[in-house]
Structure 1
């Protein structure tokens, strides 16, 4: 496991990334980053002596669709179930964090339009925020 620095100058703000070690300081990302921009599933990264990512060596072509739910508890559960079902139906790998944050892997060549059709109206009402990172 390695870490990505999220602090922008503040100490100890990091995201753990599950990886597969390729060489002593080169790793392939084996998870879906929730908060780390510019790093996606199967990207190859290098680390420093503190196990912090220093750079992306090779992009995998995968993208990450991120969703943050911003609704009350009852609505959050309904939206969670809706989004979970869409990801499962599409066969897209996905991970949830605390039932509020969703990361969906978009493999090379995948079309996210069916998800955007669901996400955009919910974003317009303030129910959630979403983005796609490459």
Structure 2
């Protein structure tokens, strides 16, 4: 019986649902799924310039596990670039550290008001 997967800590969901290539007419069904923990490794190692040791500590996983997730993310990004496919962020074995709400219309930050939840940007 395989060992149960450990939940990976992700700071917050991406600000967007994914990426589409520019200048290619393609089928919307042709996309690559990138899990939230793969996105998080790219964000921590490349954008935040953390070492893999520090990034693995932030995600509460081992460094070899982070390396496997990171390499998987890089392969997906490379495949999307070369094949002209879109990338969609969804799924995985994760838990968000913060609960940030994003607007379904403009993907801006949401805020809580007395009358409910409202987007700071488009006011929807």
- TM (norm. structure 1) is 0.25
Bigger fraction of residues in helix: 2
Higher relative contact order (CA 8 A, sep 6+): 2
Bigger fraction of residues in strand: 1
- TM (norm. structure 2) is 0.26
